[in-house]
Structure 1
Amino acid sequence: MTAYWINTFTAIRDADKLAAYVALSGPAIRAAGGEFLARGVPAEVFEGGQKTRSALVRFPSVEAAVAAYHSPGYQEALVALGDGADRDIRIVPAVDAS
């Protein structure tokens, strides 16, 4: 079943480290079967939300999304990011529409 990777940056402390992370993470996520559906700063936020960089990525399954996180390419991106940002990452299964 389809799953969604939701990544929200709660704090960005180093723009250069973030840029290095972005350069590495996108290709690693796509190589693992992820498809970016949305990313960037929200157009609007409600109910205590923060206007911080976010991404929504579709994967073919929860297992594929988890494997993407643990993949060597994504782990390299995490090393590049280091302490440059704080994030909240969630992997959520899609709703069965049947």
Structure 2
Amino acid sequence: MPAYWINTFTAVRDEGKLAAYVELAGPAMLAGGGRFLARGAPAAVLEGGEVPRISLIEFPDVDAAVAAYHSPAYQRALEALGDGATREIRVVDGVG
């Protein structure tokens, strides 16, 4: 069953670090079997506060999503981001 990685940036403090992260994180997600379904600033906020950026990535399953997070390539992306942003990441199962 597919799984979905939801990456919500709650604050961006350093655009340069964010750019370095994006350059490394995208290829890391693709290498881990991910497929970007959506990314960028929210088109509309219906409930809750503003957030600067969200990514929605489909993976074959939860294990693949978790493995992508722990991959050396994604860990390099996290190092590049450092304290440049705060985020919340969730992985949810798709519905059958």
- After TM superposition, the score normalised by the length of structure 2 is 0.97
Residues in 2 aligned to 1:58 and 1:48: alpha-carbon distance in whole angstroms: 24
Give 1:80's aligned residue: 80
Letter of the structure 2 residue corresponding to residue 32 of structure 1? G
Give 1:13's aligned residue: 13
Give 1:32's aligned residue: 32
Mark the runs of 5 or more structure 1 residues left unpaired by the alignment.
none
Shift of 1:52: 1.7
Percent identity, aligned pairs only, is 68
Letter of the structure 2 residue corresponding to residue 15 of structure 1? E
Residues in 2 aligned to 1:25 and 1:40: alpha-carbon distance in whole angstroms: 14
Name the SS for the 2:78 alignment partner. helix
Name the SS for the 1:65 alignment partner. helix
Mark the runs of 5 or more structure 2 residues left unpaired by the alignment.
none
Shift of 1:51: 3.8
Contact 1:34-1:57 within 8 A present in 2 as well: yes
Residues in 2 aligned to 1:51 and 1:61: alpha-carbon distance in whole angstroms: 27
Q: Give the ranges of 4+ consecutive aligned residues of structure 1 lying more than 4 Å apart after TM superposition.
A: none
- After TM superposition, the score normalised by the length of structure 1 is 0.95
Deviations 1:7-45 (A, max 9, x none): 010000000000000000000000000000000001101
Number of residue pairs aligned between Structure 1 and Structure 2: 96
Give 1:50's aligned residue: 50
